[in-house]
A = this chain, B = another copy of it.
Amino acid sequence: MLNEELNALLAEDESSAPESRLVRALSERGTVSASELSRLTGLARSTISMALAELRRAGVVIETAPGETARGVGRPALAYALNPQAGTCLGVHLSLKDIRLMVADVSHSVISEKTIPLGLDYTPEAAVNAARRALRETYAEKGLSLRTLIGAGISFSGPVAPDGRIQRASIVPTWAGVNIRDVFEPALQLPIFADNESNCSALAEMTWGAAIGEEDFVFYTVDVGVGGAIVARGRVLTGVAGGAGEFGHMTIDPEGDLCRCGNRGCLELTASFSPALAVASRSLGRTVEIEEFVQLALGGHSGFARLIEDTGLKAGRGLGMVGAALNPGLVLVGGRGAVAGEMLLAPLRRAYERHTLVKSADVPEGQRTRILLSRFAANNALMGAVALVLRRQGRLG
């Protein structure tokens, strides 16, 4: 079985056999040129040629047109990808009232996407049963064998411990203390990978978005809360208990308002879109959600534009603290608020420059922190759930 061969090569995490290293690089990056493979794996060109020939004979790797990930190469070079028939991955995002599923093959092509409404406070059993049913339907529809599945990646809106336990679940209380592996592994009979939403979003940007080829960057989520992810040397840092990248819970005012996390005066109380939404709702006399609010501002509502500017200034100050700790070369701003684009980013960059240690004005171009929009505002956590499997990150057990 092609699929078993691929699985064996991917699973040998500690193996330095050239075949394993090439397959892992292709799984992470999608379509890659031979010269890029040499840079990524540190293998000699001759070793790569031999191993690729072997992998192509076995049907695990195919030759293909250079894709987006091979950009920057002078002339169109030969490029390689994993054979899409060698394996498929399931991604599941556990959201507030629904679960979302995405299936992609190991060449990085998305095959299907589905949202299943379950209602507030759905249980782990409901989620896993719905996922299993939808998975069977999708594979039947597409004429795919379930045996091609090499793993399932789960994205959750809150910290996930390295062992799969959900630490706190203020959004979906029915999941508090639940172990994701215990829920999904018996039902799906697949290797399970899991991480929190923001970490998954960073992986989606590395795999399909604005961070392809970036080994070190910060993902900064500005939504009704503030969150993020730290990528160092090509891996998302999870922290010892799955709590890394929780920028929104840095204490700004130890005597401030209570946060949903139980601490006081957390950054997200002032730097997320929540205060702006409260002001906007008072001004409209009805509740306004973040998507509509941003659209009204973009459409010319000058008061709402001002509220977005104020949010950017607060978010930028918070990011300035992250900058003092990490001095990142690249920050990608995501979350639903990022749809506001420059209306949010311009004040955010201004406040970052004002409050961080290394000022752009003081250093040469190449040493500045670039603050850019992420590519995906919606569905990025779902795509990242698929990327967990492709990048072998967050493996449980």
Contact = CB atoms under 8 A, between A and B. Distances in A.
A115 to B, nearest CB: 30
A251 B358 contact: no
Given A167-B363, A250-B321, A324-B249, A241 B358 contact: yes
B325 A326 contact: yes
Interface string A243-264: 1111111110010000001010
What copy number does this chain have within its complex?
2
A228 to B, nearest CB: 8
Interface residues of A, number: 56
B16 A240 contact: no
A30 interface: no
Given A251-B317, A324-B243, A327-B241, A357 B230 contact: no
Contact of A233 (B232, B317, B321, B327): B232
B251 A355 contact: yes
B357 A246 contact: yes
Interface string A231-243: 0110101111111
Contacts of A245: 325
Q: DSSP majority for the A interface? A: loop
A321 B317 CA distance: 14
B358 A327 contact: no
A322 interface: yes
B326 A230 contact: yes
A258 to B, nearest CB: 14
A16 B17 CA distance: 11
A178 to B, nearest CB: 15
Contacts of A392: none
A368 interface: yes
Contacts of A41: 16
A162 interface: yes
A92 B246 CA distance: 38
Contacts of A248: 324
A57 B267 CA distance: 60
A313 B89 CA distance: 47
B325 A263 contact: no
A287 interface: no
Interface in A306-324: 317, 320-324
**9 nearest A-B residue pairs (beta carbon):** A239-B327, A240-B329, A243-B327, A241-B367, A243-B358, A250-B321, A232-B232, A249-B357, A244-B327
